Amino acid sequence: MAVYEVKQAELVRVAEQIDEVFHADWDKCGSVENALLKAGFIPHDEVSSAYIVFRRLGPGLRERKDLPGTAYVWVLDELCSMDIVLAGDSLPDYLMMMRLLEPVVRRAKALEKELEAVRRNREYA
């Protein structure tokens, strides 16, 4: 798992593991998603087998203890080694990430169709 940050419309690797930049009680949280929920993030968008985007609501993004300045967190699916991408409250950065993820989304949807076809074939066999 690697952690990236969107800076000036580019992805910059900032850590090898999420616990290097996000200091949560991992024993109590159990998952990145639970830790983000406890830090005030809410699920914003999800594409099955591709990613989940969390968004932090409310003022004071820069003053937050955990992930200061971060408004959006993309958690890429475990098939993608569960990389994490952090972004501030910037529409251009958000749109850039969504554009970068388009091929991942297309591939996830194609895989879903292929798996459904395999399941149907097994039912008829």
Single pTM value for the model: 0.84
Q: What is the pLDDT of residues 37-65, one digit of tens each?
A: 888 899 999 988 889 999 997 776 667 77
97 in Cβ contact with 85 (< 8 Å)? yes
Number of domains within the chain: 1
Residues 29 and 32: their CA atoms lie apart, in Å, by 7
Q: What is the pLDDT of residues 86-124, one digit of tens each?
A: 999 889 999 999 999 999 899 888 988 888 888 888 887
End-to-end CA distance of the chain: 39
Q: Strand 51-56: give its sheet, edge to edge.
A: 10-15, 3-7, 84-87, 72-76, 51-56, 41-47
Reduce the DSSP state of residue 16 to 3 states and report it. Answer: coil
